[in-house]
Amino acid sequence: MQEVASLCEACGENGTVRLLLTSIPYFRDVVIMAFECPHCLHRENRVQPAGGLAPKTVRYELKVDVVKEFHEALGMHTYPNMGHVQEDLNRQVLKSDYATIEIPEVEFHASKSMRGEITTVEGVLTQIVENLKTIQERAAEEGNAEAAAQFQPIIDRIQAMSEGKESFTLILEDISGNSFLQNPNAPLADKHCRVTHRSRTRQETESLGYAVKDEETEDESDKLSSQRKEQGVWGGPKGGLIVPEEEDDEENKSAGQSAASADANSQDAGIRVTDKGIMKKLDTYFDVTERAANFPGECHNCHQSAETRMCVTNIPYFKDIVIFVTDCENCGYKDSEIKPGGAMGSKGRRVTLKVTSVEDLGRDLMKSDSASVSIPELELELGEGTLGGKYTTLEGLMADIRDQLQKNNVFSLGDSATETTKDKMTEFFKRFDKCASIEQEFTIVLDDPLGNVYIHNPHHPKPDPNMTIEHYTRTDEQDEHFGIKDMVTENYY
């Protein structure tokens, strides 16, 4: 622990900040800061992540539904589901300095100026009430009675929410990705809370204090790329290698005549070409199905320049897939991602496999980032986006699922967890490990509305007696979610 002198915001005198670097099990390192002023006795606690940014932003949307009934005999309202509501109010919350809080029912929105801390949902609501009361008192002292009165209905409603007497929606969004909201039913799916991730915008990255390549630098990069094209080095679409075109009219004419067929081949290889000048040189691009293409990118961890390698391969009896691998020389961060190739499937695809032997664990499988995974025997369900796109074996997928469950349920396994929660998680992982080692047979289901899931069939072309493949029509909600209804496929040009 370290002690540092710091200015007190309450009285302006010097106080003391104590800093402690610690680790939240299965989550990340954090710095706990405790401030105390000996002059005015003001105290304040904060929590900040010690590592870098998460790869993507995070957004938690928690819906707390309160059932309210009027009991005529008692002459008062009763709350039949108060036990479940209290469980939601007791959820632990890790909130960073960049987190924002929103309660749509009262049109409340707190900016990232609120300090980072570890608290509960009830604690968040109580703190909001206290902050609003402070603003209300300040308005009354300044003689603005009308403005002070307008705060009271909002304070009363949020106070009722914190006591479990009114339904509400709590939205916790963090552009740094370092906030967390506990799932009390872990490792089972959270029915009351929806978690979404997205990539940061340029403005959000800059607001976090990270440098972003400006337009002038991008222009210089484009000029350098043009020079490299003329010299015959890396710089083509998806990192293609361009060989300078010979000054021969006949060869140019021949290349132009073969542009259409070359364009079709380039689409199969995962290359999209739109520039007419480049189309004349298509026959000089190497085939990305035979060797990897390199192109510059950005590291998700340190946001420095990093090289990404890409190649296209084929899964027999299924389709082409595109493999991306990023390796950052600056911080050592490594990442891999799988994207399906070819057209989007016209129907969804659900693959169900009954795992009965060790040989089944060695089956190759592919899941896209739009696929969900479930194991009915464990009542386990991993939603869309979990684990990202992967091409691995069933054994590798089970190991990744276990790691993800430990990482995403930090308050169910650490020192802050109750004995009941710890026992429940310990029992679940015992059952999970039995399935992963085939001490217990289990069923795994891969479901993708876009049809990009695959499990190897060793009996091909005969059907697999332990595996079923279903094709189904997507719902309107799924088409809306994936943007299919907004796609323009007619008269595009």
What integer pLDDT is reported at residue 337 of this predicted model? Answer: 80
Q: How confident is the model at residue 240 (pLDDT cuts 50, 70, 90)?
A: very low
Tokens 């943007």 belong to 483
Q: Alpha carbon of 205 to those of 98, 175, 199, 235, 302: distances in Å?
A: 12, 8, 10, 26, 12
Counting Cα atoms < 13 Å in the Cβ hemisphere of 15 gives 20
The rounded distance, in Å, linking the Cα atoms of 353 and 444 is 5
Q: How confident is the model at residue 234 (pLDDT cuts 50, 70, 90)?
A: very low
The string of pLDDT tens digits covering residues 407-442 is 776 666 666 567 777 788 888 899 999 999 999 999
What integer pLDDT is reported at residue 481 of this predicted model? Answer: 79
The string of pLDDT tens digits covering residues 57-88 is 889 999 999 888 776 666 677 778 888 899 89
Partners of 92 in the β-ladder: 120
The rounded distance, in Å, linking the Cα atoms of 87 and 66 is 12
The string of pLDDT tens digits covering residues 242-251 is 333 444 444 4
CA angle, 308 then 311 then 315, to 5°: 140
Residue 236 has pLDDT above 60, yes or no: no
DSSP-assigned states of every residue in 452-489: -EEE--TTTTSPPTTEEEEEEPPPHHHHHHTTGGG---
pLDDT (average), residues 479-484:
81
Residue 17 CB coordination number (10 Å):
16
Residue 202 has pLDDT above 90, yes or no: no
SS3 394: helix
Q: Alpha carbon of 364 to those of 344, 392, 453: distances in Å?
A: 22, 6, 11
The rounded distance, in Å, linking the Cα atoms of 196 and 206 is 22
The rounded distance, in Å, linking the Cα atoms of 439 and 249 is 70
Who wins on pLDDT, 215 or 45?
45
What integer pLDDT is reported at residue 62 of this predicted model? Answer: 94
What's the mean pLDDT when you consider all of the chain?
78
DSSP-assigned states of every residue in 205-255: HHHTT-----HHHHHHHHHHHHHHHHHTSB-SGGG-B-PPPPS-HHHHHHH
Specify whether the backbone of 270 is left (phi greater than 0), alpha (psi in -120 to 50) or beta. Answer: left
Partners of 85 in the β-ladder: none
Q: Alpha carbon of 36 to those of 43, 130, 210, 446, 483: distances in Å?
A: 5, 20, 31, 53, 52
What integer pLDDT is reported at residue 415 of this predicted model? Answer: 60
SS3 132: helix
pLDDT (average), residues 177-187:
83
Residue 145 has pLDDT above 80, yes or no: yes
Q: Alpha carbon of 338 to those of 207, 250, 365, 395, 439: distances in Å?
A: 30, 41, 12, 18, 31
- When mean pLDDT is compared over 18-27, 195-204, 333-342, the highest value belongs to 195-204
What integer pLDDT is reported at residue 294 of this predicted model? Answer: 81
Q: Alpha carbon of 439 to those of 102, 145, 436: distances in Å?
A: 46, 70, 8
What integer pLDDT is reported at residue 119 of this predicted model? Answer: 87
Q: Are 349 and 469 in contact (CB under 8 A)?
A: yes
* Burial class of residue 57 (count of CB atoms within 10 Å of its CB; 0-12, 13-18, 19+): buried
CA angle, 105 then 386 then 27, to 5°: 80
What integer pLDDT is reported at residue 24 of this predicted model? Answer: 60
The rounded distance, in Å, linking the Cα atoms of 181 and 187 is 14
The rounded distance, in Å, linking the Cα atoms of 75 and 164 is 19
Identify residue 187 by its one-letter amino acid code: P
Q: How confident is the model at residue 23 (pLDDT cuts 50, 70, 90)?
A: low
pLDDT (average), residues 141-154:
89
The string of pLDDT tens digits covering residues 128-140 is 999 899 999 988 8
**Total-model pTM:** 0.55
The rounded distance, in Å, linking the Cα atoms of 175 and 56 is 8
The rounded distance, in Å, linking the Cα atoms of 194 and 407 is 17
- When mean pLDDT is compared over 72-81, 86-95, 463-472, the highest value belongs to 463-472
SS3 367: strand
What integer pLDDT is reported at residue 414 of this predicted model? Answer: 60
pLDDT (average), residues 155-181:
91
What integer pLDDT is reported at residue 170 of this predicted model? Answer: 95
